[in-house]
Structure 1
Amino acid sequence: MRDAIKQLAESRSECTTRQTWYSALFSYNYPNSSETLRTVLDLLITARNEKTTQLQDTGLDPAVRARLQDEVSPLIHAHLPDPIVSEKGAIGIKAESVYQFYECDAGRAAVVFVSEILTAVTTELTHTGSIGYPLTTVLASAVGVHSRFLQASKKQVLDDLPI
């Protein structure tokens, strides 16, 4: 999971246009709980923060500095996946400066994943005015119905993780 998150963050960091980038990670078998997902993300973020602290050392060897920067740069907040969902029911959703953790029944995890993507697309289209008002309204309505349906099965289970 950690390697998949890093790979997705690295790919996202290479997107240098001014467009909004959205990335999502879906897994079938791992992690089997939101607690495990939170642990993986916590380890990744803690390692990133430690390397960021090391970069503040003015006497750092240039080669070591370059390596640390290569490791830290892709893992900034903006490059981390927006939702991370496991078919087993583990859910992590990136908010402003935290990941929020939820769980749902295993059979509904893919539906939650699709709902998160639809919500992001609808929000972005509405924000940018990229599509006409009638289509935006229809999409927003569909996402609203879909989201209300999911609220019954999606439960927040852990404290937020600062990113």
Structure 2
Amino acid sequence: MSAAAPAHLSNDIPIRVMTATHSVFVYAIDLKQAGARLIQELAIRQYYLSWTAAHVKAAEALKAKYVWLVGHGEKTSTAIVNASSKPVIEMLDIVTWCEANGATHIIDTCCAPLSRLGVVKKSKTTLKYYCKKDDDGITQILGNTTLENWWATEQFEQRH
């Protein structure tokens, strides 16, 4: 489903020029509220609680250009992990899926993205990859925080 960009977003956020579609995948149940808040800010309806077969099929049909990843990360892992630090999905699998299904941007909102960034760079993908500029923790997007303020505070940027 297409949605217009909220007027308050700045040019620094990759979704500024969107009439594009978005898919938000939440890989950790404890981050469901943060995923819902992100969806509210994006003004979209495509929300996938986990990487289940049904959700993958729906996302494949959507052909979203922007894929948002909500989960946990660890400095020593190339996977997105759950709250128990168990790997949920490897970054290379996400890159491969995105390339096969028409995505052009991956926005990784998980902590400790630098190992996953290494996977993206090594893959030589043409996907644009956005993440926090360091391996520090990330504050969830909750409450009255706007996407623009959260993006700036957490120091997200295009890294590939």
Larger RCO (CA within 8 A; separation ≥ 6): 1
One fold, TM greater than 0.5? no
Higher Cα radius of gyration: 1
Higher strand share: 2
Tell me the TM-score normalized by structure 1.
Answer: 0.33
